[in-house]
Structure 1
Amino acid sequence: MNKNTLAHKTLPLGTKVRLVNPANGKSAEGVINDRGPYIKGRDVDVSYAMAKQLGFVRKGVTKLDIETI
């Protein structure tokens, strides 16, 4: 919850990624440590720490750009 971690359906566990919130330009780096999300139309679930860095805690859901690093 307080670390930069996220869930992804297909990328290997341990993969380092950079997420960018195109709405505000904020970015954060994290490590995939779980599987999911299992909600149609969603590609990642991020920890609270990452959502805070990306600036969408209050909104809860947003579009993000993802790249492996």
Structure 2
Amino acid sequence: DDPDAMLDPEAVVQTIRDRGTPAETFDDVDAVLPALVDTLQPGDVVLLMSNGSFGGLPERLPEALAEKA
């Protein structure tokens, strides 16, 4: 594996921030769901990028947001 060919999440987030949009990275998938539920507002966009199942987060997030509403 060529380390130069790997995606750098921090660089992606910094580029997004540099363009005036809030962005975060998380090292722990269990921290993502509560952070999103606490901060998301109607109209927000979430981009989930993972090389695996991401702890079921894509399925769990809509359920958690519906419970909050």
Q: What is the TM-score normalised by the length of structure 1?
A: 0.24
Taking CA–CA contacts closer than 8 Å with sequence separation of 6 or more, which of the two structures ends up with the larger relative contact order?
1
Structure with max Cα Rg? 2
Q: What is the TM-score normalised by the length of structure 2?
A: 0.24
Name the structure with the higher helix share.
2
Name the structure with the higher strand share.
1
